[in-house]
């Protein structure tokens, strides 16, 4: 099988291109990794996992009970939102250039 990393601004397109989507991709509507195998294209989103691990482990800052500001509302933000909410923050505010996308 072949693997491919996907970056902005193609994460939404990658989700739409895939023939199979992980639960994270379905919820976020964005994919940052594609796997090509036996004529199928599998999409995955690791944005949320990476962000949460970086903040909680590398920065030693658990999100539980914290107020969180998320800047942007693109594919990376979409992928990060649900794993972020699963950490139990007190509040999450999304700021973006356009209100529609946020």
Least Cα distance to 64 among 80, 88, 86, 85 occurs for: 88
Active-site residue, selected from the candidate residues 11, 35, 90, 101: 11
Other beta carbons within 10 Å of 96:
14
Which alpha helices (H) appear in 1-102, and where do they start and end?
Answer: 11-17, 23-28, 47-53, 75-86
Q: Is 11 annotated in the active site?
A: yes
Per-residue 3-state assignment (H helix, E strand, C coil) for 25-46 = HHHHCCCCEEEEECCEEEEECC
Task: Tell me the catalytic residues.
Answer: 11
């Amino acid at each position: 099988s072949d693997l491919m990393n996907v970056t902005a601004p193609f994460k939404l397109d990658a989700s739409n291109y895939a023939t199979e989507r992980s639960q994270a991709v379905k919820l976020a509507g964005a994919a940052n990794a594609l796997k090509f195998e036996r004529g199928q294209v599998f999409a995955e989103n690791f944005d949320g996992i990476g962000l949460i691990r970086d903040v909680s482990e590398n920065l030693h800052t658990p999100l539980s009970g914290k107020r969180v500001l998320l800047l942007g509302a693109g594919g990376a933000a979409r992928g990060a939102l649900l794993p972020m909410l699963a950490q139990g923050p007190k509040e999450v505010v999304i700021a973006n250039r356009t209100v529609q996308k946020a």
